[in-house]
Amino acid sequence: MAIEKSRKELAVEKKASGKYNCAQAVACTYADKMGLDEEMVKNIAGAFGCGMGNSEGTCGSLVGAGMVLGMVNKDRVKSMKDMRDLMEKFQERNGATRCRLLKGLDTKVLLRACNDCVADSCEFLEEKL
């Protein structure tokens, strides 16, 4: 009997494959919940890797989670509240929400690897869905 993988595991596999950025890995894993085709979601999230648009800003996995919240909640206020909560949990666990800080580009101290950021974003997203 095959054991079904969690969405968190599926998202990490997507990221680890090298075919998805962090935002795509999270958002595409929830394409069905958003009522969208995975290829469409992959294209929508394509510009949000490497810290939102390759700017080393907000972690792409968080951006992907925010896309999911918006599409699933269909309520701006609820989505913003859920996103704030998700980001606070992510910050508390990892010490940062910005890609540059998470990767330790200035300090040479890795706070969290990309695959782990993807896993964390999915874990906290699951709590909101």
Mean pLDDT for the stretch of residues 113-129: 94
Domain enclosing residue 116, as ranges: 7-128
Q: Render pLDDT for 42-88 as a digit per residue (tens, 0 to 9).
A: 999 998 887 766 667 889 999 999 999 999 999 999 999 999 999 99
Q: Domain total for the chain?
A: 1
Q: Is residue 25 part of a domain?
A: yes
Mean pLDDT for the stretch of residues 93-100: 93
In the predicted model, what is the mean pLDDT of the chain? 92
The per-residue pLDDT for 49 is 80
Residues 49 and 60 sit within 8 Å (Cβ to Cβ): yes
Q: Render pLDDT for 29-40 as a digit per residue (tens, 0 to 9).
A: 999 999 999 999
The per-residue pLDDT for 53 is 65
Q: Is residue 2 part of a domain?
A: no
- Helix (H, G, I), strand (E, B), or coil: what is residue 58? strand
Confidence of residue 2 (pLDDT cuts 50, 70, 90): low
Whole-structure pTM value: 0.91
Q: Is residue 1 part of a domain?
A: no
Angle at Cα 60 formed by Cα 28 and Cα 103, nearest 5°? 135
